[in-house]
Amino acid sequence: MDLDQWLKTKNKQLDDVEIELDGYYFKGDPFSIKIRLKSFPITHLIEDSMHAYRVYEFINIKRPADVLKYIWIEIIQLPKYFQNKYESIIDKKNYRFTSSPDWPEGFIPFNEFDRFSEWFGDDTEREAECWLLFREGEGFTEFCSTLFEEVLLHQGKLRENTDVIIQEELRLIDSHSHRYDYVQTPSCELTKPNYETITKPKYSRQYYIKLRELLNQESISSVSYRYPIDYQTVKLFCDQQIVRRNEKSENAFEINILDDPKEKLSGWGCIINWYFEGLCIGDLHVEQSIIDSELLQKYIGSNSMSPICFLHLEDVGDFQNYRKNIGCAWVLYTQKALE
C-alpha cells in the first residue's frame, strides 16, 4: 500500500507503506527512490508495554517525531547517491560505525537513512532534494501524526491498565522519580522482524497460579530464584513486593536471584538482590532448571538455609523432612514441621 492509499484508509493499521519518489538529475536523466516504511517496532513496543515491559520507553514517546525512532526503511531501489552511503555503513567505511550494524538485510533505521540528506542551497544533491521535499511534505507529516495518534491512544489504555507493576512504574514516571529519568540516553530498541519478546510465558497457566498462591502466603517473606530467568516469574515476585510495600506490611518481601543483574527489569522500582554463585536464601525457593542434585540436597538439608518450601517443575526425588505434593505442571516440597 502506498502512502496516499494508506492515508485515505479509515482504519489505519501500523503496516508497511510503500514510497516511490521520482526525480531528475541536472542533465535530465531520471532516478527513483523506492522504499517501504515498516512500523512494526511500534506494535512490538505497544504489546510489550501492556505486559509491563518497556513502559518507560513507550511513555517517553511525546511528540510525532519520536515515532521515527521505531521505523525501519526497507530498501527496494536506490539511486547511486543513497546506495553508496548505505554501503559505506554496511562495509564499515562510515566513521560513525566501527563495525557492520546488526540490521536485517536490506533494512536501515529511518533516522540513519534520513541523515544521508541535507540542504546545501544550490549545491544540494538532486537525490537529497527529492527526499527532503518528501520528508518535509504534508503527506509525510500526516503519516507521522497518524502513528503518533495511535501511540497516544495506547498510552491512554496503558494508564487504564490495573496491573500492579504498570501502575507503579507510571507513578514513578509521573513523579519524575523513575531511575531512567537520570540516565543520559534512555533505552530505545528498534526491534527486528523476528523479534521475540521476553514477556512470553515459558510455563503453564497452572504453574503461575500455584506460584502466585505461594507468594501470597504471609509465612513467605522472601524468595530465592536462579537462572535461567523467566520474565513472568520475576514479575510475580515484584508484584508481591510492591503490594506488600503499598500495604506497609510488616512482613516485607525480599527477592534474591542468582544471575547477572538484568537492566531491563530495573524500571519497576523494586529491590532485587543479585548473586553470582551458589544458591541464595529464601523462604520459598523457585527452581526451573535442572539442578545439581548434590547441591540441592545440601541446600535443602541445611538448618540455617532450608526454605519453608520449594517449587519445581518436575519431581526431583525425595528430601528428608519435606513432604512432596505433585500438581499439574508443578511439584511442591514443604517442610513437614511447618504443615
Q: What is the pLDDT of residue 119?
A: 96
Question: Structural domains in the chain?
Answer: 3-174 (no CATH), 205-338 (3.40.50.150)
Q: What is the pLDDT of residue 4?
A: 64
Q: What is the pLDDT of residue 226?
A: 86
Each residue's pLDDT tens digit, 40-98 = 999 999 999 999 999 999 999 999 999 999 999 999 999 999 999 999 888 876 556 66
**AA identity, residue 90:** I
Sign of the Cα pseudo-torsion (40, 41, 44, 46, in order) = negative
Measured between alpha carbons, how far is residue 103 from residues 108, 110, 306 in Å?
A: 7, 12, 48
Specify the 3-state DSSP secondary structure of 275: strand
Q: How far apart are CA 214 and CA 222, in angstroms?
A: 11
Q: How far apart are CA 199 and CA 92, in angstroms?
A: 34
The set of residues, in sequence order, having a beta carbon less than 8 Å from that of 247 and lying 6+ positions away, is none
Q: What is the pLDDT of residue 50?
A: 97
**AA identity, residue 120:** F
Q: What secondary structure, in 3-state letters, does 3-60 show? A: HHHHHHCCCCCCCCEEEEEEEECCCCCEEEEEEEEECHHHHHHHHHHCCCCCHHHHHC
Residue (of 59, 51, 40) closest to 195 by Cα position: 40
Complete DSSP assignment for 222-269: EEEEESSP-HHHHHHHHHHHHHHHHTT-SS--EEEEES---GGGGGG-
Total-model pTM: 0.90
Each residue's pLDDT tens digit, 177-204 = 999 999 888 889 999 999 999 999 999 9
Low-confidence ranges of the chain (pLDDT < 50): none
The set of residues, in sequence order, having a beta carbon less than 8 Å from that of 298 and lying 6+ positions away, is none
**Which burial class, exposed, middle or buried, applies to 184 when counting CB atoms under 10 A from its CB (0-12, 13-18, 19+)?**
exposed
C-alpha cell at 83: 546506495
